[in-house]
Amino acid sequence: SDYSQEPPRHPSLIINSQEPFNAEPSRSALISSSYVTPVDLFYKRNHGPVPIVDDIERYRVSICGLVEKSMELSIADMKKLPKHIVTATLQCAGNRRTAMSKVKTVKGVGWDVCAIGNAIWGGAKLADVLELVGIPNLASITPLGGKHVEFISVDKCKEENGGPYKASIPLIQATTSDSEVILAYEMNGEPLNRDHGYPLRVIVPGVIGARSVKWLDSINIIAEECQGFFMQKDYKTFPPKINWENIDWSTRRPQMDFPVQSVICSLEDVTKVKPGKITIHGYAVSGGGRGIERVDVSFDGGKTWVEASRYQKTEIPYVADEKSSDKWAWVLFKAEDEISENTEIVAKAVDIAANVQPENVEFIWNLRGILNTSWHRIHIHTEH
Ligand code: MTE
Ligand code: MO
């Protein structure tokens, strides 16, 4: 593969792999960049070289498969449809993998806690695009129910034996009246950049990042879910007893929604501080549109808890539509206390369905190292 034409990147990114390029911002950069993550600091997760789509006039997305009539749409065609703006947090399923690998080796990119970002995405609703090829909204109640929408990209990767990256979602998820699945051509009010999917990418809010296919080439309506590597042989969770010898991928479904998550970003996992008042900051988010109910923080290793306060939405640089909801977006939180001795600061979030993060990473260990949502713990050493 040819990595000679990769786009420029922010020098402060922490690079986990150069080819393909996988990088995340530092904790302090992520949290100080506030509610909307700037594009250049947003984590980048690629599986191959970033493709070059330089002839935007000739770029077309084809929509084919089980449709009345196939179509090819240009970016100009997409822009003729109503622009839908959604604030959504994108999180890689492998976020916090490094901490999981300390229990027992796992396979995958060694992410710290910042393979996540919150952006304001602008584009056409997938439902509106599908209507153009004869798929009515609320397709679930028509004979088209039960089908899947497959997204096929321009980029090529080794996991697909040199074929394109792809994924699918159930058709109903795109056509229900409250669906906010979009084909995005904008990120934070600007055209997508190359790393994030220029000229067009899918955004599936509330779902692991892997399903938000970048550099979209075609949309295929199919009867069964996508058979691609990342749907069938990756991004699934397994019980702890499953290893690479006895794994049977077909026994599990592809992971879609991500579970409730929270992370303290203002401190490293082991931090030295002077005794006295300490204020911690972090993010919390849940999948499936389940907002955050509260974030509990403990300054004594989990014996007692205080409720964190939220401070999201203070300064949104790009004003989304007034009606647009924040149900797909993270919340930023802060909490403070006095610290006098060595301790552990712990965060755990609760979502609106009362789901809570698991206490220990041991109990959710899985061989691919995905969805580490265990309580985030910071070890504090006081320096007198
Ligand atoms: N789409 C394509 N075409 N190729 C990819 O490698 N990576 C996926 C997803 N979409 C990927 C892709 C994964 S695993 C994640 S987490 C997100 O894109 C990352 O999106 P970002 O790089 O914009 O943060
Ligand atoms: Mo990912």
| Range of lowest pLDDT (143-147, 164-168, 207-211, 212-216) | 143-147
Is residue 65 one of the residues assigned to a domain? Answer: yes
**182 located within any domain:** yes
Residues 202 and 278 in one domain: no
Distance 210 CA to ligand 2 centre (A): 5
Ligand 1 lined by 91 (C-beta under 6 Å): no
Atom 11, ligand 1: residue with shortest CA distance = 46
* Token pair in block for residue 103: 């229990």
Res 1 pLDDT > 80: no
Which atom from ligand 1 is nearest to the alpha carbon of 196? Answer: 23
Going by pLDDT thresholds of 50, 70 and 90, the confidence category of residue 113 is very high
User: Domain end: 251, 277, 302, which one?
Assistant: 251
Say whether both 319 and 235 belong to one domain: no
Q: What is the dihedral of CA 189, 166, 107, 367, to 10 degrees?
A: 110
CA–CA gap between residue 264 and residue 300 (Å, rounded): 15
pLDDT band per the 50, 70, 90 thresholds, residue 319: very low
Task: Judge if the beta carbon of residue 214 lies within 6 A of ligand 1.
Answer: yes
Given 203, 230, 251, the domain boundary residue is 251
- Which residue in 65, 198, 59, 56 sits closest to 123, CA to CA? 198
Which among 73, 318, 321 has a CA at the least distance from the CA of 200?
73
Q: Are residues 235 and 339 part of one domain?
A: no
In whole numbers, what is the pLDDT of the chain averaged over residues? 93
CATH number at residue 333: 2.60.40.650
Asked whether the beta carbons of 110 and 100 are under 8 A apart, the reply is no
Q: Are residues 178 and 279 in the same domain?
A: no
The response to whether residue 42 sits with its C-beta less than 6 Å from ligand 1 reads yes
Answer yes or no: do 82 and 116 share one domain.
Answer: yes
- Average pLDDT estimate for 343-350: 98
Compute the Cα dihedral for 336, 340, 345, 349 and give only its sign.
negative
Average pLDDT over residues 349-377: 96
Both 300 and 330 in one domain: the answer is: yes
pTM (predicted TM-score): 0.95
Query: Rounded distance, CA 149 to CA 224, Å?
Result: 9
Atom of ligand 1 nearest to the CA of 45: 22
pLDDT of 340 > 50? The answer is yes
Query: Do 246 and 266 belong to one domain?
Result: no
Q: Ligand 1 within 6 A of 198 CB?
A: no
pLDDT for 317 equals 46
Phi, psi torsion values for 73, nearest 5 degrees: -120, 135
Find the domain containing 85 and state its range: 14-251
Distance (Å) from CA 155 to ligand 1 centroid = 10
- How is residue 372 written in tokens? 């580490």
Measured in Å, residue 212 CA sits from the centre of ligand 1 at 6
Residue-wise burial string across 196-228, b where 16 or more C-beta atoms lie within 10 A, e elsewhere: bbbbbbbbbbbbbbbbbbbbbbbbbbbeebbeb
Name the residue at shortest CA distance from atom 21 of ligand 1: 44
Q: Answer whether 121 contacts ligand 1 (Cβ < 6 A).
A: no
Tell me the CATH number at 151: 3.90.420.10
In a domain, 275, yes or no: yes
Residues 185 and 305 both lie in one domain: no
- 56/142 same-domain check: yes
For residue 256, tell me if it sits in a domain.
no
C-alpha of residue 47 to centroid of ligand 1, in Å:
7
- Both 284 and 156 in one domain: the answer is no
Confidence of residue 252 (pLDDT cuts 50, 70, 90): very high
Q: What is the ipTM for the molecules in this complex? A: 1.00
212 within a domain of the structure (yes/no): yes
Q: Residues 196-202: what's their mean pLDDT?
A: 98
Strands 331-339 and 270-273, bridge-based pairing: unpaired
Ligand 1 proximity of 165 Cβ (cutoff 6 Å): yes
Spatial separation of the C-alpha atoms in residues 119 and 42, rounded to whole Å: 9
Last residue of a domain, one of 232, 251, 270: 251
> How many residues belong to the chain?
384
Q: Phi and psi of 343, rounded to 5°?
A: -160, 180
Read off the pLDDT of residues 13-32 as tens digits, 9 standing for 90 and up: 999 999 999 999 999 999 98
Identify whether residues 210 and 349 lie together within a single domain. Answer: no
Q: How far is the CA of 203 from the centre of ligand 1 (A)?
A: 10
Residue range 212-239, pLDDT digits in tens: 999 999 999 999 999 999 999 999 999 8
For the chain, the domain total comes to 2
pLDDT-derived band at 315 (thresholds 50, 70, 90) equals: very low
Give the Å distance between the CA of 123 and the centre of ligand 1.
17
Do both 285 and 324 map to the same domain?
yes
Answer whether residue 196 is part of any domain: yes
- Which of 214, 231, 256 to mutate to test ligand 1, by most ligand atoms within 8 A of the CB atom? 214
Neighbours of 117 (CB within 10 A): 27
Distances 50 to 264, 303, 352 between C-alpha atoms, Å: 31, 47, 38
